[in-house]
Amino acid sequence: MTVNMLKKWMLYSAAALALFTATGCDMDDDDDDRLTYVPSGVEETFRAMYPRATSVRWSDRSGYIVADFREDGTAAQAWFLPAGEWHMTDTDIRYAELPQAVRTAFETGDYASWRVDDVDLLSRRGLETVYSIEVERGESEYELLYAEDGILLSALPDTDGGDHADMLPSNLPQGVQSYLSQHYPDARVVDTEFERGVYEVEIVDGRTVRELRFDADGNWLETRTEVRVSSLPAAVLDAVRTSQYGSWQIEDADLVQTPDGEWYEVELEEPRTDREARLRVRADGTIL
């Protein structure tokens, strides 16, 4: 190889290496939402709340300023509005750090034999603390949400990859707050959401979980309360058995209360085909 050829080869190699490196950075850098500037109000609130935070990385997610960080060796994620108002912190914890009531509820529940994949503590502005346990068995993955006293709030397929943005609190209109104060004065609010013009509020009333819906002006639309199949009125069970779905299996049931009346909504499944159906039945057995 001549000197000129050697020089050309070296230049080509350097260019190729530079191109590969640049391309590699682009492929590996999936942090398009990363922020280089953080509003001073957010920075001040964050530092006041987490003075020992290290490895802080800021990002913009759906209008929130989010800090991924570590404190005392624990990974956490704090969500703020741009003006500096804190809304939620998602903290990784060990299973052993769960409240005893939560561990007892999990270990005696339907998912006790599933493998625990991840555990998080969710602290949120104006709402009850919630604990998340992600479990898996085979190809199935579920997220279980518990109140601090061990009440199971929900058990749903885990499809969000661990991002708890759906647990961020929503500001409730005065009408919603007044309704809750009047009808459920001692209830604990564990989740709020505003979607498609409807406020959805989940509360723990004693040890009963209820889901309430309100319109955009704060007017009450409905309350749903899960009911055990064994607690369904006899007239409701008889109506289901004598309906076209009499041979189907009852999977779930809710008591639905609205300004126009109330009924039981029964979810059924055909065992052989996995087909599903819902029946609305009044307490006296009338099918709607």
- Whether 11 shows a pLDDT value over 80: the answer reads no
Mean pLDDT estimate for the chain:
88
Asked which of 24-33, 57-66, 82-91, 239-248 is least confident by mean pLDDT, the reply is 24-33
Q: Give CA angle at 260 (254, 265), nearest 5°.
A: 20
pLDDT at res. 31: 54
Judging by DSSP bridges, how do beta strands 53-61 and 64-71 pair with one another?
antiparallel
Under the banding of pLDDT at 50, 70 and 90, the label for residue 5 is very low
- Whether 35 shows a pLDDT value over 70: the answer reads yes
- CATH class for the region spanning 227-281: alpha beta
Asked which of 30-34, 91-95, 165-169 is least confident by mean pLDDT, the reply is 30-34
Torsion-angle region of 250 (φ positive above 0: left; ψ -120 to 50: alpha; else: beta): beta
- Bridge partners (DSSP) listed for residue 279: 266
CB 42 within 8 A of CB 60: no
Give the rounded percent of residues in the chain with a pLDDT score beyond 90.
Answer: 80
pLDDT at res. 161: 61
Domain 40-167 maps to which CATH number in 3.30.465.10, 1.10.730.10, 3.30.1330.10, 3.10.450.360? 3.10.450.360
The whole-model pTM stands at 0.78
- The CATH number that domain 174-225 falls under is 3.40.1420.30
CB 220 within 8 A of CB 258: no
Rounded Cα–Cα distance for residues 143 and 127 (Å): 19
Under the banding of pLDDT at 50, 70 and 90, the label for residue 200 is very high
110-117: long-range contacts at Cβ-Cβ below 8 A with a sequence spacing of 24 or more?
110/155, 111/135, 111/142, 111/144, 111/155, 113/137, 114/142, 117/141
